Structure 1
Amino acid sequence: MSGDDIILDRADPKPLQRRIRLCADDYGISPGVNRAIRDLIERERINATSVMVVGPAAGRDEVEALKTAASRHPHCAIGLHLTLTAPFHPLTLHYRPLDGGLFPPLSKMLRASLSRRLEPDMIFDEVTAQIAAFGERFGRAPEYVDGHQHVQIFPQVRDAFLNAVKTAAPGAWVRQCGRSRHSMTTLFTTPKALLLDILSAGFRREAARTGIGFNPAFAGAYDFNKPDFAAQMQQFLNGSPDDGLIMCHPGFVDDTLVAFDPLTDQREREYEFLAGDHFADMLAANRVTLG
C-alpha cells in the first residue's frame, strides 16, 4: 500500500485492469460472521479480512479455521480490526475512558476525541496490546491494521494508533477512510462519508509523516437500511482506483451477533451477493481482480 496522497488525484480511476482489496470486517464478532467470511475466502470473493481480537468468537478454534482457509489462498491478507468502542472490553487493565467496564459507545468516543479528552498513552497501550494478542494467535504480526467503526482516524486516537503500529507492527499498512476524488465528484455524499473524508485527510498526512503505508482510496460506507447491496457495490467499484480498498460486512446471523451488534440481516444480504454469480460477473465487467 502506498503512502502518497498524490494517488488520490488520479484522473482515471479505472485502468484496463484493476486490483481491488475487498476486506470483510469483523472476523471474531460471532461464529456466523466467521463462517461466512471463511466461505468467501474459499470462493475467492474477498481477499482480506480484519480480526477483532477482543471479539467473543476470536478464540483458538476460530483463529485456526481462518488460518487454514487463508493458507489455501495466500493472496488473502489478514489484519487486525482495532476495537475501542462498546460493547467490547479493553485488554489493558488501566484503560480509560470506560463505560460500565466496557469501551465507551461510538458517539461518546467520537465526542471525547474531538474535544481532546482522551489519553493518548492509554490508546497507545491498548493498540499495542491488541497487536500483541493478534501475534500470539496468528504467530506473526498483522499484515495491516484498521479500526472498528473507523476509530483509527479519530483525533488523538490516530497519533497513538500510528505510533503503536510503527512500533509493534512496523511492516503493516493502515486503513485510511477517504474516498477517491473521482468518487467525491460523481457519487452522492452522505454525512458519514463526508466526515470520513475530513478525518482521513489528517490521518493520511500523519501516516505519511510517520512513514506508514495506506490504501490510496476507500469505499464501502453506505446506509445499511438500503437492501440493494449490488447497486452499492457497483458504485464502490466505479469510484475505486487500482489498489483501492472496499470494506464489506458479510455474515450469517446468530445469537452472538444479535447480542453484540445491531448490523444483522444486511450481513446476510451482503454474503448472498458476494457469494453469487452476479458479483463474479460484475467483477469481470469492470475488469477488476481480487487476486
Structure 2
Amino acid sequence: MTSAARKKTLRIADDFGLGRGHDRIILELIEGGRLDGTSVMINDAIRHDDIVRLRALQDAGAKVGLHLNLTQAFGEGAPVWSLASLMRPTLGPQLLHDIEASLIRQSNKFVSLFGKLPDFYDGHQHCHCFPAIAPLVLRLPRAPRTWVRVPLPATWAARWRNLRAGGAKGLIIMAMAARARAIFVRADLQTNKDFSGFLRLGDPGDVRMWLPRLLSEAEPDCLMMFHPGDATDPMQCAGHAPESRAAETEFLTGSTIYD
C-alpha cells in the first residue's frame, strides 16, 4: 500500500463475518461508496450470497482483507484464547504452534472463499501486532500487493487525538504497533503509513462525538478503521456496545465528510 499510495482517506470496516446483520450493513455501505473495503472474520456461518456480493465488490476495486481472529468464538470448534494470554511478550512453543496453525487455517479458508489471497491482513483486537504474534504474520502467504495494517497514526498530533478519542488502551496498542511495523518492514511487507479510528467502542456517546472529528481531521492517505453494524444482531463483540456499531452505521450512512 505504501508504494501505491491513495490520495484519500481509506475507509475500512472491521468484522465482516461477525454476524449476518453486520455483514448486510457493511455490504450496503461499500456498495453505496461509504466504505472502501472491509476485513473478513473467517467462519462457517457467512452466507454464500454475501461472499458472492463481496467478491464482486472486490473485483470492482474494494479492498478485502483477512481479519485474523484468535479471541472471538463462533461455536464451530476453532480454538480461541484470552486476550491477556496472547499479549504476553513470550509464548510457549506449543501455544505458538497452535496460534500459527489457526492463522494459516484462516488464510487458507479465505483463499477457498475468495479465490485469491487477501488484499491485506489485520487482526481482531489488533492481535497481529502482539509481540509474540507479529513474527507469525510473516509466515502467512502473500502476494506482491499484500499489505498489513499497522494501528499507528503518523504524527504526534494524530496520536494524541486518537488517544483522547479511544482512551489509554490506545497507548499500549500504538506501542505494540510501532514494534510490529519494524518487524513487517524488515521483512519487506508493505504497511499503511497513517492510521486513525481509535474509539471507546463501549460508549456510544463518545463514538458519536469523536468519529466525525477523527474522519474530518484525518490526513490524505490515512487508513481509517470503522466498526459499523446492526445493534440487533445476536452476534456482538465483548467491549463493543451494540449501539456504538449502530452509531457508526448512522454516521457513515448520513455523513457528508467524504473525499
Q: Could you say which structure has the larger radius of gyration?
A: 1
- What is the rounded CA distance, in whole Å, between the counterparts of 1:48 and 1:122 in structure 2? 29
* TM-score normalised by structure 2 residue count: 0.86
Q: What TM-score do the two structures reach when normalised by structure 1?
A: 0.77
**Equivalent of 2:243, from 261, 265, 285?**
265
Q: Structure 1 83/90 Cα, relative in aligned 2: closer, same or farther at 3 Å?
A: farther
* CA-CA distance at 1:231 after TM superposition: 3.3
Q: 1:261 to 1:186 in 2, by over 3 A?
A: closer
Aligned runs of 1:99-178 on 2, under 5 Å? Answer: 102-110=79-87, 113-117=88-92, 119-164=95-140, 167-178=141-152
Alignment partner, residue 67 of structure 2: 81
Residue 65 of structure 1, CA deviation:
2.7
Matched, 1:215 2:192: yes
| AA of the residue aligned to 2:69 | T
Q: Does residue 200 of structure 1 match 2:177?
A: yes
User: How far apart in 2 are the matches of 1:269 and 1:23?
Assistant: 16
SS in 2 for 1:227: helix
Indicate conservation of the 8 Å contact 1:123/1:161, yes or no: no
**Which residue pairs with 1:28 in the alignment?**
17
Residue 60 of structure 1, CA deviation: 2.2
Equivalences for 1:8-19 in 2 at 5 Å? Answer: 18-19=7-8
Q: How far 1:168 sits from its partner (Å)?
A: 4.4
Shift of 1:253: 2.9
Deviations 1:65-85 (A, max 9, x none): 3224444xx231111111011
User: RCO (CA 8 Å, sep 6+): is it higher in 1 or 2?
Assistant: 1
Matching residue within 209, 223, 229 for 1:245? 223
Cα deviation for residue 35 of structure 1 reads 0.5
- Measured in 1, the distance between the counterparts of 2:142 and 2:101 equals 11
Read off the aligned partner of 1:249 and give its amino acid letter: H
Moved over 6 A (4+): none
Note the alpha carbon deviations across 1:38-81, whole angstroms, 9 max, x for none.
11011100101001112x5424232113224444xx23111111
Report the number of matched residues: 252
Distance 1:152 1:89 in 2: 22
CA 53–230 in structure 1, closer or farther in 2 if over 3 Å, else same: same
Counterparts in 2 of 1:178 and 1:262: CA distance versus 1, 3 Å:
closer
